[in-house]
Structure 1
Amino acid sequence: MAVFTPIELSDISNWIATDFDIGRAIDIRGIHGGIENSNFFLDTEKDGKKYEYVLTIFERLSAAQLPYYLELMRHLANKGIPVPKPLENINGEILFSLKGKPAAIVSKLPGLSRLTPEARHCELVGENLAKMHLASADFQRAQENLRSLSWWQKTVPQVLSYLSNTQKELLISELATQEQFFTSEAYASLPQGASHCDLFRDNVLFDSQDASDSSQDQLGGFFDFYFAGTDKWLFDLAVTANDWCLAENKQDLDPVRFKALMDAYQSVRPLTDNEKQSWPLMVRAAALRFWISRLWDFYLPRDAHMLTPHDPRHFENILLSRKAI
């Protein structure tokens, strides 16, 4: 959630007042973090009350791609899954244009991120990820995960020149392994549907009655669905585990957090035998996906306000750890 397209209050005041029924815009603030879109907290005032939203300007996704993400969030929110709900304008539309780019406004979830999660947080995430998967089973739209195998195959050649020989060998070898896995019968038969595909710690909020006592946290919700796609649910779970269940060395899986996440997920949606057998390769696929994207963002960055690319070595180390499972 960087800021590539700056927005001032004066840019949107009239638009908010005339196109929406949410009162007048009183403040807009850029959100630090992330690397894809321009995001802002938007505050409005109506009938003496203050309301909070998130405004997103999409920098890479096209207007043709965006209905999948916005309709998925609306679908899940209408089913009681705690996710941001897209805001309609007075014409019932949820996708807009701002500064010549696609834009959307969604509800702001309560709570804060827990960047050093305990087993309790992993349990809440696992349970609600499974609920989200089941709730998405009847979602009628389909759109491929735009950061899956075909994107890896296109992107790897662009970053190879920046890598050491050892890194090149690892990257090329793992891509070949995943190409074989993705074309296998075992992969084809894995359950699939709408998936978040980016459920990192900074994309989940916890609502707490006591900020100093995280044991009382409840899930505030999942957000930032703009990497979502129709994918294997096991991949979504693997992406989540690779971030939420890290040990203190920041690369291995912590047994306690990992068990909490997996047990909670399977209490709602038990994994099939094929999913269990496919786990070692899928958790490597999840590590590879983010190593490639972080290499791309680190070595081929775009200009943006408040943007700090992530160190790609983090997911290189995670991939090495998962290969040892």
Structure 2
Amino acid sequence: MNELFEQVSVGKLTLPNRLVMAPMTRSRASGGLVTGLTAEYYAQRAAAGLIITEGTQPSVIGQGYIDTPGLHSPEQVEAWRRVTDAVHGQDGRIFAQLMHSGRIGHPCLYPDGALPVAPSAVASGGQIFTAEDMLDHPTPRAMTPADITSTVADFVAAARNATAAGFDGVELHTANGYLLHQFLCGSANVRSDAYGGPMENRIRFAVEVATAVTEAIGPERVGIRISPANPNNGIREHDPAEVYPALMRALAPFRPAYVHIMEFDREITKLVRAAWPGTLILNPHGTAEGKLGSAVEALRAGLCDAVSLGSLWLANPDLPERVRAGGPYNEADPATFYGGDHRGYTDYPTLEAR
């Protein structure tokens, strides 16, 4: 698995290895603020070539889950600064994932009880977990042209806040059924204006957000995450093999630092790779341990430049050391994935501590 330990360029960064820590929601923020425990969690995993944080809302209305962090207030910037300082203190590199949930939200999350917003008034069909009960996602409010303009501005402001907080860059979450992905998908986006209908219209919003953010903080600080053919959160894509290469071609002139693909269809991955001239990070399909073999196979085939892993990083803060040693690997505990305290968060042992 020596391929995993070669250097690779991402923007202006030189990563010491190709093992990227994938973004994972952990729901341990307090009032939208990350804590000292968050700083410890990410610093423990600073041996990653690059850390991509959990989804972080760029605005109040962008929140989709309880106890997730934001990057839209001075207090949130200050809290995240403690995280980036801790990671950089361990010679790590860290990008903030900016995630607007769109219709995957609920009035209970917002101080004014507003409806979540989306490209169209089409409900996800899913539910939100709260401390009291499971609640159905409501039918969202369709975004007006003014909403679209202000949301682009929210992403720009959050990206600038990320830079102020010491992040090395941001990742725009255009996957997993959240707002940017909703615009790409014909079942969630039934608009009849310049942002809906034909493929070139459905990619417009994602391109506008990426363009504005790269202009604001520099393309070398911006990554894009996609998940072609991903059915999560009620998404049903009928033309991913056409949409995603078109999106890549539209983004290429702005030269973002990387594209990060969560794989559901290897053939579409190949199409994206062919259409994307820059660095590609692949989160391969498969089980946790199986992904290591898939990652090496993809690197050897030239299908990607780096690989991202989720639960293996969650449970193994010293993952590179374990990969070099051929294991063993701690097993992730799903019961502690979301919410709670240090258990299942900062208490996974290293090889040295076993």
TM-score (norm 1): 0.29
- Between structure 1 and structure 2, the one with the greater Rg is 1
TM-score (norm 2): 0.27
Using CA pairs below 8 Å that are at least 6 residues apart, which structure has the higher relative contact order?
Answer: 1
